[in-house]
Every structure is written in structure tokens, then in C-alpha cells.
Amino acid sequence: MEIAELGEFGLIKHLTKEIKLENKSSLKGVGDDCAIIQYQEDMQTLVTTDMLMEGVHFDLQYVPMKHLGYKSAIVNFSDIYAMNGTPRQIVVSIALGKRFTVEDMQDFYDGLQLACQEHHVDIVGGDTTSSMTGLAISITCLGEARKEDIVLRSGAQENDLVCVSGNLGAAYMGLQLLEREKTVFNQQYREAQQRGDKRGLEELQAAQPDFSGREYLLERQLKPEARRDIIERLREAGIRPTAMMDISDGLSSELMHICEQSNVGCRIFEERIPLDYQTAVAAEEFNMNVTTCAMNGGEDYELLFTVPLTMHDAVSQIEDVKVIGHITKPSLGKLLVCRDGSEFELKAQGWNPLAPPTSEGE
């Protein structure tokens, strides 16, 4: 169905008709000039926002709308967890071109709502409008936390342990796989077009690329998760990180943020950086250095945090958390210690969306 048939208000009604507000703090959702929210009086409000642009942050040739909806919400929840808070509400703005149908938007909302259900977050408002070109998505997430629970980037202290959750570089390798398949597909498609090979074109469109054995990498790229589980385990273990942030631009870039805002240095050990087996295999295949992928790949949405040295035993017992180094005096620099003992100053080669022409994700 064409979106013009419903119009802005019709589309919003259609997409939001099944939204139920789950949180007590969501007093009023979609349908007025503003949403109304009220947290308990001892709570502080956390606010984060992310904008995703077609052709920059996602490629609809291989990203399904439902996954896009899911990921758009998750990347915001991840920022709230990274402050040691709980996400509660989002407002969702979308600008879409004429090629999108009501069904596309329904898929996007299905993904969005799935993420919201899993994290008990309410969709309380937004803006739906048109775009002259691609799809633009902007989500703002509100969350809450007790004042004494909030963890900033600026609290890391000398001798603290540097920890990460999960493993790194997988989302980046997933992107490489998808980009390679896209290039191959487009090449074959052009050739079939030039030959006038109708049947070849049909076969190409029906074919699914073979990603067997690499499903995990694709999932990390297309359907990332926000690590609420880690926040909960830390709480259960009585550990309050001294500094924390989520890894969206790459470990290297995020370590530099924590060090600069905490006015400290760090020593990170290459051999301690958690990698999945599939990430290593794919890096080998692409002739890439797997440590570079893990340090600079980005989009992992894992948590990077520091804890006091006295917490070493407690934090080591938490499943899926690894100590990768420690915090030092600022004068010692921000160093990566390689397997052969050589040391390198960290560089933020993380993804820079405003850099001169690059291919996506680099």
C-alpha cells in the first residue's frame, strides 16, 4: 500500500495502534503535542539520541527493514546502559522517500517494537515525514537511574582494571562479508543485464548468498544487542564501574575517550582482547589484521568499563567479561602492548562519519 493513501496522521495511527505503554513512568504517549513522563522522585533522567542515514549508516540492499528498526532502538538503549541506567521511553522520527510502502514501515516498526518489548521500553512519540531522497531515522531515548548508580566516562582511576564484555570486531567482519556479497551481486547483475539474460537476472534475484558458518558475524552486524545482562550481573556482584561507555566507534576510540575524560593513561594487552573464532577466520580470509578489526571496527555495542583493582576476583568471575588491561598515570600514555611485547600508542581510527569520501563503515 502506498503511504500517500494513509497520509501522515493515518500512517502514525496505523503504526502506533498496537502500542501499549508498559512503564508506570509513561503517563501519556503518542497523540498530543508532547509525551508526558514522570520518574520516581529519587531518579535522574538520562537522555541520548542517535541519527541513522541511509547510505551512511545502513544499506537497504542487504539490511531488512525489520532489522533496521531493531538496531535503531538497540543502539540507543546501549547508551543508557553505558551510564548504568535503565531505558524507559523512546521518541522515533522517520523521514522517508516515495519508494517506501506502508508494509516497509510496518516491518520497521515491528523491529522497533521487538527491541522495545525485550527491553521494556515504551514508544511515546515521534515525527513521521517525507524525504526527497533516502531514509533518515532519529531516535531519542530516555532512561532513569539513581544518582549514586550513574557511571560517567570520567571516573577511571590509576590502577583500575579495564574490562570489556563479549567479543570485538565481529560486527565489522559481518559488514565486510555483506559488502563483498553486494559487490559480487551487482557485478553479476550488470553482466546479465548487458547479455540481456532475463533468466539469469531472475535467478540472481532469487538466489540467497551462502553465509553458512558466518551467521554469527552477520547477526552481530544486522542485529546487535545492548548488554543489559552485563549491567545486571555487575549489580548482582556488587560492582559499580568507575567509568563506562559502550563500544560503537571501536575499542581504540572509546579507550581514548575514557582516558582523556578521566585524565589517565592505559595499558591494553593484545592477547587479552576477546575475539570470536569466526571473526579471526574471516579476518584471515580478508587478509586483515584481526587485532586492528577488534580495535577499530566499531558497532560492537559491547561495554567498556573500568573497576577498582580490588574487584579483580569478583569481575573475573562474571561470565562474558574480560579484563584487557589497566589504567595508568596520564604521563605513561595510552598503549597497546602486542603479543611480541612491542608497544603502540592508541589511535582513534574509529569510524568518522564526517571524513572525506570513504566506503561505508571504514
Name which of 138, 302, 283 is nearest 228 in CA terms.
Answer: 302
Q: Look up residue 64 and give its three cell numbers.
A: 531488512
Interface with its own copies by CB under 8 A: which range of 48-56, 165-173, 262-270, 310-318?
48-56
Query: Would you list the DSSP string of 137-192?
Result: EEEEEEEEEEGGG---GGG--TTPEEEEES-SSHHHHHHHHHHHHHHHHHHHHHHH
- C-alpha to C-alpha distance for 221 and 238, rounded to whole angstroms: 32
- C-alpha to C-alpha distance for 110 and 1, rounded to whole angstroms: 17
Task: Select 40 or 331, whichever has its Cβ closest to its own copies.
Answer: 40
Least distance from C-beta 37 to its own copies, angstroms? 4
Q: Which of residues 90-119 bind its own copies (CB under 8 A)?
A: 91, 93-95, 98
- C-alpha to C-alpha distance for 168 and 152, rounded to whole angstroms: 22
Phi-psi region of 341 (alpha: psi -120 to 50; beta: other; left: phi over 0): left
Least distance from C-beta 258 to its own copies, angstroms? 10
**Angle at CA 109, nearest 5°, toward 299 and 91?**
75
- Residue 61 interacts with its own copies (CB under 8 A): yes or no: no
Q: Which of residues 228-257 bind its own copies (CB under 8 A)?
A: 245-246
- Residue 126 interacts with its own copies (CB under 8 A): yes or no: yes
- Residue 259 interacts with its own copies (CB under 8 A): yes or no: no
Considering only 17, 20, 41, 196, the residue that binds its own copies (CB under 8 A) is 41
Least distance from C-beta 232 to its own copies, angstroms? 18
- C-alpha to C-alpha distance for 292 and 229, rounded to whole angstroms: 27
Q: Look up residue 129 and give its three cell numbers.
A: 515525514
- Residue 354 interacts with its own copies (CB under 8 A): yes or no: yes
Task: Select 4 or 338, whichever has its Cβ closest to its own copies.
Answer: 4
- Residue 356 interacts with its own copies (CB under 8 A): yes or no: yes
- Residue 44 interacts with its own copies (CB under 8 A): yes or no: yes
Least distance from C-beta 28 to its own copies, angstroms? 8
Q: Which of residues 8-37 bind its own copies (CB under 8 A)?
A: 8, 11, 27-28, 31-37
Dihedral, 24, 25, 30, 32 alpha carbons, nearest 10: 120
User: Hey, what amino acid is at 165?
Assistant: S
- Residue 39 interacts with its own copies (CB under 8 A): yes or no: yes
- Residue 125 interacts with its own copies (CB under 8 A): yes or no: yes
Q: Which of residues 304-343 bind its own copies (CB under 8 A)?
A: none
Q: 3-state DSSP call for residue 203?
A: helix
Q: Look up residue 89 and give its three cell numbers.
A: 521511553
Q: Which of residues 139-178 bind its own copies (CB under 8 A)?
A: 140, 142-143, 147, 150, 152-154
- C-alpha to C-alpha distance for 321 and 247, rounded to whole angstroms: 14
- Residue 51 interacts with its own copies (CB under 8 A): yes or no: yes
Least distance from C-beta 84 to its own copies, angstroms? 10
- Residue 213 interacts with its own copies (CB under 8 A): yes or no: no
Q: Which of residues 266-305 bind its own copies (CB under 8 A)?
A: none
User: How many angstroms separate the first and last alpha carbons of the chain?
Assistant: 36
- Residue 83 interacts with its own copies (CB under 8 A): yes or no: yes
Task: Select 31 or 213, whichever has its Cβ closest to its own copies.
Answer: 31
